[in-house]
Amino acid sequence: MTFSVLFLSCFFIYKNEYNQIGKDSLSALFSSANIYLWTLTRNYWGPQPESSMFLHTWSLSLEEQFYLILPLIIILFLKKYPNQLPKVVLIFTTLGYLLYALLSTDHPRASFYLLPCRYWEIGIGSSIALYHNHFNSIRKVIPALYCKAISWVGLLLILIGYLWLDESRSLGWGLILPTSGTAIFIVFANKNSFSNLILSSKPFVFTGKISYSLYLWHWPIIQFNNLIYQPSFIVSFIALFTIAFLSYKFIETPLRKNRHSLRIIAVSFLSCACFSIYLSFNKSFYDTSMFEVITWKGFRYDIAPTQAEWNEKMKSRMHGIKIIERPKSDSQALKTGGIITN
């Protein structure tokens, strides 16, 4: 996905945006996209996360950061407190949600992108796994009919979250609805429940199998569609499922079974990293020699005692434009009432 996006971008985006997409790609490759995109939101005049081809990798980076930290916690507590790990994970999950709920109003971007505020969602899944035997004991005590009813409550919470949470309101504490609903459904749904029969049907199973590829490709497809033309929803939908299936069939599945998969991944990673670094340092300009020369007379009529030096970004922006310098005879124009003599 990364290499495809970088390669196609060379044909469909402006050359002066090459260095930005190179930086975006590097943050995705090194699992820091969530932090990088958060920093972009703090720059009012700079590029925004929504314009990045790699916007969707913020959640993948957050997950990978979690998977790097969790083993360290497990090693620490399994050695000293082997029986306390589930409690520790549950405590950190609760604290993480409280931190998220507190910061989501005043610091919505930080609470959205950063791991300390989003850990609790993955922590809920970890807690379910760690308390698996405990939940099994509970299900044995509760009648099957009640378990089915509780699982439907979980699905209802997911539906409420889907309908109620949108761009018009901050996610805030309400994000607990679909998250807890998912946890409830996982714990209490059984093989004979109607909801499980629906989710285990072939269309849902197929979608689940290619879900990672679907997520990996959905945002680049949306972005390129917007750059090239505005297709109908049906066309975009078919294109997404087709590319996701091909990716799953010919890339994802073979890599799982190939005994040289680590080598392939390493070579692919290095290739993408080199391509990204090249683009991030690239300062390409368009050949404007065939067009009429544009002149800029800002310096000509600037009566400031000392004219400010342009930085590299400003020089790049004014590339190809003829700059009319101020004559030395007008360097004292401010003292003479701002009169330009020439």
pLDDT in tens, 230-263: 777 788 889 899 999 999 999 999 888 888 888 9
Instruction: pLDDT band for 341, please (50, 70, 90 cuts).
Output: low
**Residue pLDDT, tens place only, 55-85:** 999 999 999 999 888 888 778 777 777 778 8
Chain segment 156-211, per-residue pLDDT in tens:
999 988 888 766 555 678 889 999 999 999 888 877 777 777 878 899 999 999 99
Q: Report pLDDT for 316.
A: 74
Q: Rounded to the nearest 10 degrees, how much is the dihedral formed by the CA atoms of 66, 69, 70, 76? A: -170
Tally Cβ neighbours within 10 Å of residue 169: 9
Question: C-alpha distances in angstroms, 289 versus 17, 286, 294, 313, 319?
Answer: 21, 9, 11, 22, 12
For residues 11-26, give the mean pLDDT.
89
